[in-house]
Structure 1
Amino acid sequence: MTAASEGIARPALTEGAADVGRRVRELRERRGMSLSELARRAAVGKATLSGLEAGTRNPTLDTLQAVAAALDMPLTSLLTSPTTLRGAAVQIQVLRVFDDGPVTYELCHMRIPAGLAQRSPAHHAGVTEHATVFAGLLETGPVDAALRAGPGEHVEWAADVPHTYAALGDVDVEASLLIRYPRGGL
C-alpha cells in the first residue's frame, strides 16, 4: 500500500467548484451560521472555507465531507448535480440520491487503484456506509477496526468516526458504496 497516498490532497471536483461554493454559503446562511463558526465546526481553515464559498478554491474530498458533517447534511447536498468526486485514493461517482423521509441514501460507484489508501473524516452522527465489492480486495471501515471484503462480499460500518479505504493487493477495487444519512437539521 502506498503510504504517501494518505497525505495527498487532490481537488475533489473536475468542474463546478463555484456552484459548490454558492451552495455551501446558502446552506450556512440558512442555518444562521457565520463563516468562522462553520470553519470551526468543520475543522477547516477560515481562508479555505472563504475561498470555497467564493469559488476560487477547489476543495478536497475531505474538506467537502467535513463541511457536510458540520452542517449535519449528506455530502451530495453540497453538490448542484450528480458528479464524480476524487480523494487521495478513492474516486466516487454519485449514481443516485434517494430521500426516504427521515433518511437520505447516496448510491455511488467507488474505484480505488491497487495499492492506494486514504483516510476519511467522520460523517455526522448516525451515518453508516455499506460497500459491496465487485473486484479487488477492499479494506475499509473505522480506522481502528477496519474490515476486509473481496468480490461478492459486503461490509458495513458506522461512518460517524474517521474511517479508511484501501485497495489491497494488485487489483483495483470496484465496488458500490451506499451511504445512509439520518436527516439533519434542515
Structure 2
Amino acid sequence: MELAQEVGARLRRLRQDRGLSLSELARRSGVGKGTLSELETGRRNPTLETLYALTTVLEAPLSAVVGPAVVRGDAVHAQLTDRVQDAVAVSEVYRVRIESGAVQRSPAHAAGTQEHLLVLSGTARVGPTSAPIEVGPGGHVQWAADVPHVYEAVKGDVEGVLVVRYPVE
C-alpha cells in the first residue's frame, strides 16, 4: 500500500473509532471536508501541518497515522524513528531537518504536550510563537507544545532530533 493510502486508512480508522463524521472532523480541525476526504482515500499527500491539525482533534499522537516515511511541512521535514508508550505518555522521536529561509508555524497540540529539540548542525529558532529560543549545534531546548509554536533555521539548514511527548489520558 502506498504511503498516502496507509496514512488515509489510519486517519479514517481513528476518526471512526472516535465516532466523528467527516464533516465534524473537518469543522473541528479547520481542514476542508474535500481535503479530508481525499486524504482518507489516499488521493492526496498530507502535510505535517494538516496531520497535526487532525491528530490534535483526534487526541492521538502523530505516530498514530505516520509510519517511518518522511513527512514535510512548510519548513520541517520529519521522519519518525521511534515511538515509546508508557502509562504516562507517548514519546515520538523524529529525525528532522528545518530548511533555511522557511518558517513553520504549528498550532497548539493536545494539552500537556512537550517538545524537545537537540540540534546537530545549524542554528534554529524554535518554541512558543510568543518567545522562541535560539539554539545552535550541540544545544538542546524544550518547550510546551500545547501553545502555538514555531520552527525556523536562522543559520543554514538545521539537522536535529525532535522528541514530542504527549500525555496519555
1:112 equivalent to 2:98? Answer yes
Match of 2:145 in 1: 159
1:85 equivalent to 2:71? Answer yes
2:113 to 127, 131, 144: 127
| Deviation of the 1:106 alpha carbon | 0.5
| Deviation of the 1:116 alpha carbon | 2.4
1:28 equivalent to 2:15? Answer yes
Q: Which whole-Å CA distance do the structure 1 matches of 2:148 and 2:85 have between them?
A: 25
Secondary structure class of the residue paired with 1:47: helix
Match of 1:55 in 2: 42
Runs of 4+ in structure 1 off by over 3 angstroms are: none
Q: Which whole-Å CA distance do the structure 1 matches of 2:40 and 2:142 have between them?
A: 33
Q: Which whole-Å CA distance do the structure 2 matches of 1:37 and 1:114 have between them?
A: 36
Secondary structure class of the residue paired with 2:166: strand
| Deviation of the 1:54 alpha carbon | 1.4
**Alpha-carbon deviations, 1:84-131, whole Å to 9, x = none?**
111111111111011112310011111112232211122111111000
| Deviation of the 1:30 alpha carbon | 0.9
1:175 equivalent to 2:149? Answer no
Q: Which runs of 5+ in 2 are unaligned?
A: none
Q: Which whole-Å CA distance do the structure 1 matches of 2:119 and 2:42 have between them?
A: 35
Q: Which whole-Å CA distance do the structure 2 matches of 1:101 and 1:141 have between them?
A: 26
Secondary structure class of the residue paired with 2:112: coil
| Deviation of the 1:58 alpha carbon | 1.3
State whether residues 73 and 183 of structure 1, in contact with CA within 8 Å, keep that contact through their aligned partners in structure 2: no
State whether residues 3 and 69 of structure 2, in contact with CA within 8 Å, keep that contact through their aligned partners in structure 1: no
Q: Which whole-Å CA distance do the structure 2 matches of 1:144 and 1:110 have between them?
A: 22
How many equivalent residue pairs?
A: 168
Q: Which whole-Å CA distance do the structure 1 matches of 2:27 and 2:99 have between them?
A: 33
Q: Higher relative CO (CA 8 A, sep ≥ 6), structure 1 or 2? A: 1
| Deviation of the 1:61 alpha carbon | 1.1
- State the one-letter code of the partner of 1:47: G
- State the one-letter code of the partner of 1:116: A
What's the % identity of the aligned pairs?
51
Secondary structure class of the residue paired with 2:24: helix
State whether residues 22 and 54 of structure 1, in contact with CA within 8 Å, keep that contact through their aligned partners in structure 2: yes
